[in-house]
Structure 1
Amino acid sequence: MRKLLLTLSIFLFTITAFAQTTYKKDSGFFTPIVKSLYLRGGVFEDAQLIGPAVGYRFNETYDVTLHTEFLSNEYKFGFRPTLKTSLLNIGVILGRTADLSDRFLLRSELSLYQAITLNTEAYNNISKPSLTSGMVSSSLFWDIPLSKSVSLLPNLGAFLGYGNYSAPYSTARLRQGFDGFIIGPKVGFDVPFNLSDSFYLVVNPKVNIPLNKEEYGSTLLFNVQLNF
């Protein structure tokens, strides 16, 4: 796993790449309003997955993001003991940005996630949840200005990752929760709103489509990001 992560790191920083500096070029903080959120209550399961994130732009090229997911879950099997799970899934996302022209950007990320188990009550003869994963992704962005304060950034790219994942008994999905290698295309449609000289709001939906892991299906990610 260490050799793989080292290879991914070398791949990221030897190509023209991505960061949240796509939206602002000066140093400063940015944060998705909620990067992860899943709530479910019912007869068979109570689940809460909350994942705040915060990032920092060092300059016009590099940035880093810390993303922490907290999962609290109770899965009920009738007369069997209730499976209780609580864990932290901690992710670090490294990025780099480059302008190819006035209208095109090429961006990439290296993201690493590690789960820390806090409680696995009644997991007696069941594999306890665990997660270690790494992923690289690159996308080409096309900047289409609509006005002085609004623009479109449609984007197309690809991702490659490797993970060691034992899923908890929960309908909630951990970020980068996959086992083995995963590869596929990704499509996004970002919409930045320039609300002031120092404040951007960005709506950035995207879809990851794994080609070799049908059991995971396509993943729709939707975030609203604040750039200060």
Structure 2
Amino acid sequence: MNTENLIAVLAADAVPVGRHIVERRMFSALSIAACGALVLLLLSYGVRADLAWLVSTPVFWAKVAFALAMAGAALVATVRLSRPGVAVGRAWAGLAAPAAIVVIVALTVLWFAPHDARAALVMGHTWRTCSLNIAALSVPGLVAILAVVRSLAPTRLRLSGAAAGLLAGAIGTAAYCLRCPETSVPFWATWYLLGIAIPTLAGALLGNKVLRW
């Protein structure tokens, strides 16, 4: 069989790829991530009893804005890394910016706080469980997002897995805001970022195996 015949045979069953297929698949993964995180939150931890008051506070919306900003930039990076030959570009800056802003604000708060109050500002009351809770809430999203990324033929497997994990971690963080009792910026600048880092690392470690196609 010559080359022309081989190409004809391979192309015989080809069908056009649907428009916006990437967007549809990623939307499905994000829906699973958000719903899965909320279901796990309700089943395992529950929301704060004073949620009605909580949503009226600026700190709550600052935490949610941080998580959503990380999720938005991670989404752009994940989609671009999922497609061969597409540069991530400014998405890296979009990821770095909210994290840098939170860290700068946290350091400023600690700088002006009394010396004997700094440890309490960082540790809060739930430092032992906060990051682990966020990581747990990220599991449904990590599974769903990795499955979609694999279907889109990524070539930078570890980096794609890390971006998927970061996206899942940011969504898990947004859900955890409905439970977290901490209001100190140094606390969530430390433990929220660590909570996001756990699924990011997991995604990077899994990427080289589960994203092969």
Decide: shared fold, TM above 0.5.
no
Greater relative CO, 1 or 2 (CA 8 Å, sep 6+): 2
Q: Could you tell me the TM-score, scaled by structure 2's length?
A: 0.31
Q: More strand by proportion, 1 or 2? A: 1
Structure richer in helix, relative to its length: 2
User: Larger Rg: 1 or 2?
Assistant: 2
